[in-house]
Amino acid sequence: MSKKSYPKNNQHNGRHQTFAFSAPAATSVQLAGDFTQWQQRPINLQKGLDGVWRTTVELSPGAHHYRFLVDGQWRDDPECILRAPNPFGSEDMMRQVA
């Protein structure tokens, strides 16, 4: 008799989303958002030979707010057109996951 294996509730419910930021001279680019508890658990991006930093993360369906930290400074995603005001006087980027 074979055993059945069931995925944990928090696995495989999301969609893979790629984030990219062009910063050839940067030494560090991080992704921070509501899905990382902002600065508590930012995700480090990997720099490509083209100077574009990338990462792919799994996000649950819905709207997610995020920003990039480039060498410790908050930066907007120039490719993102969905934005929402934040309490710090700037804007959060928004990624809608279907």
The alpha carbon of residue 10 and the mean position of all alpha carbons in its chain are separated, in whole angstroms, by 18
The CATH code of domain 15-97 reads: 2.60.40.10
Model pTM score: 0.85
Give pLDDT, residue 41. Answer: 96
Neighbours of 66 (CB within 10 A): 23
- Quote the CA–CA distance of 2 and 56 in Å, as a whole number: 34
Percent of the chain predicted with pLDDT > 70:
87
pLDDT of amino acid 20: 98
pLDDT at 1: 43
Q: For the residues 50-73, what does the mean pLDDT come to?
A: 97
Contact (CB, 8 A) for 12 and 56: no
Q: How confident is the model at residue 6 (pLDDT cuts 50, 70, 90)?
A: very low
